[in-house]
Amino acid sequence: MSTTLHDVARHAGVSIKTVSNVVNGLGRVSAATRERVLASIAQLDYRPNLSARSLRSGRTGVIGLAIPELSLAYFAQLADAVIEEAERRDLVVLIEQTRGGDRDRELELLRGPRRQLTDGLIFSPFGMTEADTGLLDIRSPLVLLGERLPEANVDRVTMRNVEAGAAATASLIRLGRERVAVIGAHLDARMGSAVLRYDGYVRALREHGLELRDELVVEVDLWHRSNGAKAMRELLARDEPFDALFAMNDELALGALRVLQEEGIDVPSDVALIGFDNVDEGGFSRPSLSTVDPGRPEIAAMAIDLLLERIGGASIDDIAPRELQSSFRIIDRESTRGA
Amino acid sequence: MSTTLHDVARHAGVSIKTVSNVVNGLGRVSAATRERVLASIAQLDYRPNLSARSLRSGRTGVIGLAIPELSLAYFAQLADAVIEEAERRDLVVLIEQTRGGDRDRELELLRGPRRQLTDGLIFSPFGMTEADTGLLDIRSPLVLLGERLPEANVDRVTMRNVEAGAAATASLIRLGRERVAVIGAHLDARMGSAVLRYDGYVRALREHGLELRDELVVEVDLWHRSNGAKAMRELLARDEPFDALFAMNDELALGALRVLQEEGIDVPSDVALIGFDNVDEGGFSRPSLSTVDPGRPEIAAMAIDLLLERIGGASIDDIAPRELQSSFRIIDRESTRGA
DNA sequence: AGCGATTGATACAACGTTGTATGCTGAGCC
DNA sequence: GGCTCAGCATACAACGTTGTATCAATCGCT
């Protein structure tokens, strides 16, 4: 079939191991034999068999990335960042979709045989509940993205959701708006981005001496665009005036934006709007959408670095699980511009 | 480390091969021993080592997907479809980005050692030129997406671009529009989607007895949103009246839409608009975007099936390369609705 | 009863690689 | 001149799996 070390060795008149050493730059090989071997390698177009290598070494050079759905812009862009950062470390990425965060599928990915294909997994959980937390206790390297499953004894990358939520809200208040609505809250939840971003919202209101009005808070289960539209209709139906809106992600914001426009409400003059996530699309909506950039490349880099340490042998017992936080940035676009 | 066949065999008091047979459902194994072995497998939490398996079998169960950029909605949704279809065939997908279609990167992916990680590659070429076509002549299974590199002696999945372009154009004409502009043309090119969709446009005009006006044709190099905006400004500057627009993909359409709105031109009443690709986002723009659905799941399924045949051993010499075409569908949304 | 056929299980080799142990030079030193 | 020691290269085993060949025991048939 394809050329092996054996073929090269025979062709160059040396032992298999010497060829292996040349390929990997190990051991002492005289310049003369090295030349000869390299020539043979080039001539025979030898390429190492990665299956054999990983059988021997126990490493595959592949990391897994499990996300709810690649069609969601946020995750597509995240995957993009992970692939690029992985590439930089000579790793390759295998993407698994949990089909919108299906719990059973998530568990299957965590424990299934396919885990063997990868050295470790970067996992953005969604459907698993806190009761499932124990199931995360797996031998192989794992890094969680986001703040779900807070009890899990695992490395984790998050962002400063409270601070970012506060900064987003503050950016609206700084425009002179005093009735800032928010959509996407999960008031009953104890943890999660929704809770943290909402905390930030509340904090910013307080710091600027504004009143928190429950009538301006809309709960939204899934942060999809259609739900953003629904939430906005609900808010409008309450007949409670507002002049600014913090949407907990860009999808919600874009859904809300559409309804606002249908109702003839101008953004930003009537209602200033800021989203969250900095999805590409927000730069092209009309008006373009102000947002919070979560620093995806940084998130990707942190996750991979954490993973690599575990892959390198640092077990959970050796080093306690850590949580790294990416830095965010407010992006000012048309939806919060002008008076 | 982790449990192997050996461990299970010892635990169940049988030979290694018997355990292997149970796992793979091969050979004859009595119900009694099968029970015993399965019990041991469950008890020891045995999972087959996929590296060893693929070393032995020569298959990895992984296919590669090389696309320009995951952040582009079209490719994200395509990747989604490929992953789902692969899953259905018990395959897993390794995504490689060619960084917006960088030629050197494309060649690297085609010939690099990482090809060994996968059983075959689904490749959406972009940067490679016709001069590079010969470099596609690789031993390992390969399927191209799209009509670039037309001379390549390789399996390929395309869509009926001419028919689809004609159908899109016709859907505008059927609204009563008589001055249909088009953006995205590559007039100097001999091949590619741009040429084919343009052919469709021309054909539809002719079939409906409309005149082809060069002033209504705008060339656009890269089909990005910003270029859609640029093209629209160029078209408006020509001061040539038009009442409908066929954009060669949704990105162009959305870019153009934004400019039309900035200029106070109403869509669809002043200008009816249709795009191409059925990117999710088009369903949420305002007005929502009519488009051509290229049938991504079908494309993914066809590509994987072609690949699997080659992986199964059908070499290019055995079976001549084939081209499969997906079926498309016009999606009517607000941008072509009403009078 | 004696024979071949069938069933159920086993031993062994091999996939291509790399780590370990070992061997063979010849140069340097007392 | 015999010793050590570095320098270079090799042989062998092992990673965990599966295909092939083989074998023992049981079965069915004349």
With respect to residue A13, please indicate whether it lies within any of the assigned structural domains.
yes
Residues A288, A303, single domain; the answer is: no
pLDDT at position B1 over 70: no
Nucleotide nearest to A56 (CA to C1'): D15
**Are the beta carbons of A95 and B96 separated by less than 8 Å?**
no
Shared domain for A202 and A136, answered yes or no, is no
> Residues A39, A113: one domain?
no
Residues B176 and B269 in one domain: yes
Looking at the complex, does the CB of residue B60 fall below 8 Å from at least one CB of chain A? Answer: yes
Do A168 and A227 lie in one domain? The reply is yes
A166 to chain B nearest CA, in Å? 28
**Which residue's entry shows tokens 């892959």?**
A311
User: pLDDT digit string (tens) for B111-131?
Assistant: 888 888 999 999 999 999 888
Long-range contacts from A261-270, C-beta under 8 angstroms, 24+ separation:
A261/B286, A262/B286, A263/A236, A267/A335, A268/A175, A268/A334, A268/A335, A268/A336, A268/A337, A268/A338, A269/A338, A269/A339, A270/A243
Q: Which residue's entry shows tokens 């795009």?
A: B275
Residue matched to tokens 């739900």: A227
pLDDT tens figures, B52-84? 999 999 999 999 999 999 998 899 999 999 999
Tokens standing for residue A214: 């429950």
Contacts of A50 in chain B (CB under 8 A): 113-114, 116-117
One digit per residue, the tens of pLDDT, for chain A of length 339 reads 688 999 999 999 998 999 999 999 887 888 888 999 999 999 999 999 999 999 999 999 999 999 999 998 899 999 999 999 999 999 999 999 999 899 999 999 998 888 889 999 999 999 998 889 888 877 789 999 998 898 899 999 999 999 999 999 999 999 999 999 999 999 998 888 999 999 999 999 999 999 999 999 999 998 988 899 999 999 999 999 999 999 999 999 999 999 999 899 999 999 999 999 999 889 888 899 999 999 999 999 999 999 999 998 887 888 899 999 999 999 999 999 975
Residues from chain B that touch A225, judged by Cβ atoms under 8 A, are 284
Residues A290 and A247: beta-carbon distance below 8 Å: no
**For chain A, where are the E strands, in sequence order?**
62-67, 92-97, 120-123, 142-145, 155-159, 180-185, 217-219, 244-247, 272-274, 291-293, 323-326, 329-331
Please tell me the total count of domains within chain A. 3
B262, pLDDT greater than 70: yes
Residues 6+ apart with CB under 8 A from B141: B119, B120, B121, B307, B310, B311
In a domain, B39, yes or no: yes
**Is B53 domain-assigned?**
no
Beta carbons within 8 Å of B45's beta carbon, 6+ residues apart: B3
Residues A212, A124 share a domain: no
Residue A80 near residue B71 (C-beta atoms within 8 A): yes
Nucleotide lying nearest to B37, CA to C1' measure: C9
* Interchain pair B55, A77: CB under 8 A: no
CA–C1' nearest nucleotide, residue A2: C16
Q: Same structural domain for residues B70 and B99?
A: yes
For chains A and B, CB pairs below 8 A equal 120
CA atoms within 13 A on the CB side of A98: 24
**From CA A39, how far away is CA A13, in angstroms rounded?**
12
The CB density around residue A298, as the number of other CB atoms within 10 Å, is 18
Is the same domain home to B302 and B290? no
**Cβ of B140 < 7 Å from strand D?**
no
Residue B205 belongs to what domain range?
A: 161-294+330-336
The verdict on residue A12 lying in a domain is yes
The answer to whether residue B56 is domain-embedded is: no
A 10 A CB-CB count for B148 gives 22
Rounded distance, CA B113 to CA A92, Å? Answer: 12
Q: What is the pLDDT of residue B157?
A: 98
In this predicted structure, the answer to whether residue B332 has a pLDDT above a threshold of 80 is: yes
Cα(A107)–Cα(B303) distance, integer angstroms: 29
Q: Where are the alpha helices (DSSP H) in B224-270?
A: 225-237, 250-262
On whether both B116 and B189 belong to a single domain, the answer is no
From the list B80, B94, B255, which residue is nearest A97 (CB)?
B80
For residue A90, the Cα-to-chain-centroid distance in whole angstroms is 20
Residue A25's CATH number: 1.10.260.40
In A219-248, the residues whose Cβ lies within 8 Å of chain B are 225
Q: Indicate which CATH number applies to the domain containing B178.
A: 3.40.50.2300
> What are A297's two structure tokens?
């490349």
Kindly state whether residue A55 falls inside one of the protein's structural domains.
Answer: no
